[in-house]
Amino acid sequence: MLLTYSTTEATRDAIACNERGLNRYSSGDRGGALSDFQQAIDIRGDYPEACNNAGIVLQQLGRLDEAMAHFDDAVGLRPDYADALNNRGRLRHLQGDLDGAAEDLDMATSVASGPMLATVLHNRATLREARGDLAAAVADFDRALEIAPEKVMTLRARGLARKAMNDLDGAMADLDRAVALTPPTAAATVLHERGGVKVLLNDWAGAIDDYDQTLALDPTFWLALVSRGHARYHRRDFGGVADYHRAMRLNAEGTVREIARLVREDAARDPEAVLKNCNKHLRINDRDPIAHARRCLTLALLGRDAEAAEEFESFRALSPELAGTLMRVLKAVG
């Protein structure tokens, strides 16, 4: 919202420059928009909206120090400017200044209203989650959704926070709603997120269905390939190996990190259950390469190196083309 200034020629020119910048920004011309916002500031140095708008564009262009200076100027001109406080808080969070971010977002929460308040609450919830306070994060997401109940970004974020708190039913409710509200062609990411909750509910078939839908929308979604490979293993579907192959071709480093994360996560919950599950798979088929790989990695995490080495050799005999990948994952989990 623009401030009301005295109707001087300079003020009219500054407002016109700012409006032109907003139009250019809407059309995708960030360079032109920034030029217009800066011209408005040059004409009227006490114009907080133009400072805030320039800061937004500068941040998107990666010029973070300049963006921060403009947000500082906007807040300095109007200390209760919720949008500028929110933007500066988000940038402080991005730069690792969590205390400064909290100060800005707390202040923005106290002065914002309507849709702006929903946005600020979402951002403060994200900050609180980053600081490990999941309960407070969910409380902010709750308040944001009371104002904007169909905001998909907030539904997804609350669903993932609930997942982290092991409130799996709540997480499913949020992600089901997010899937329903997202246009089908844009739903790949939220379908993948919902599949992750189904994995924790041991609904392997449901998870695979979500991953199938994800990959139908985006065949290059390598993370979904890793997730589907993991789920297919639990269904004793040897096609999971092909998913790992494809994921490695698309993003080798990311695939290694994600497999290592899954192994560490499973082992942290119950390593003996992981080994028992692997043994079950191997009793059914002692040539199951993924069962040997999981045993190898879990044993390595437990410090049982000799046994891990034996499993590595069993895996290499079955899948020599993936032995290098398993070695990389071993290094990543260590």
Give residue-wise pLDDT tens across range 282-297. 999 899 888 999 999 9
- Answer yes or no: are the C-beta atoms of 116 and 83 closer than 8 Å: yes
158 domain-assigned: no
Residue 212's CB is within 10 A of a number of other CB atoms, namely 14
Containing domain of residue 334, as a range? 251-334
213 domain-assigned: no
298 domain-assigned: yes
43 domain-assigned: no
273 domain-assigned: yes
331 domain-assigned: yes
294 domain-assigned: yes
Q: What is the pTM of this model?
A: 0.88
Full 3-state SS string of the chain:
CCCCCCCCHHHHHHHHHHHHHHHHHHCCCHHHHHHHHHHHHHHCCCCHHHHHHHHHHHHHCCCHHHHHHHHHHHHHHCCCCHHHHHHHHHHHHHCCCHHHHHHHHHHHHHHCCHHHHHHHHHHHHHHHHHCCCHHHHHHHHHHHHHHCCCCHHHHHHHHHHHHHCCCHHHHHHHHHHHHHHCCHHHCHHHHHHHHHHHHHCCCHHHHHHHHHHHHHHCCCCHHHHHHHHHHHHHCCCCCHHHHHHHHHHHCHHHHHHHHHHHHHHHHHHCHHHHHHHHHHHHHHCCCCHHHHHHHHHHHHHCCCHHHHHHHHHHHHHHCHHHHHHHHHHHHHHC
The predicted-structure confidence for 19-63, as pLDDT tens digits, reads as follows 999 999 999 999 999 999 999 999 999 999 999 999 999 999 999
Query: What domain count does the chain have?
Result: 1
Rounded to the nearest angstrom, the gap between the alpha carbon of residue 131 and the centroid of all alpha carbons in its chain is: 15
How buried is 81 (Cβ within 10 angstroms: 0-12 exposed, 13-18 middle, 19+ buried)? buried
Can you give the pLDDT of all 334 residues of the chain as single tens digits?
A: 344 444 578 889 999 999 999 999 999 999 999 999 999 999 999 999 999 999 999 999 999 999 999 999 999 999 999 999 999 999 999 999 999 999 999 999 999 999 999 999 999 999 999 999 999 999 999 999 999 999 999 999 999 999 999 999 999 999 999 999 999 999 999 999 999 999 999 999 999 999 999 999 999 999 999 999 999 998 988 888 899 999 999 999 999 999 999 999 888 889 999 999 999 999 998 998 889 999 999 999 999 999 999 999 999 999 898 899 899 999 998 7
308 domain-assigned: yes
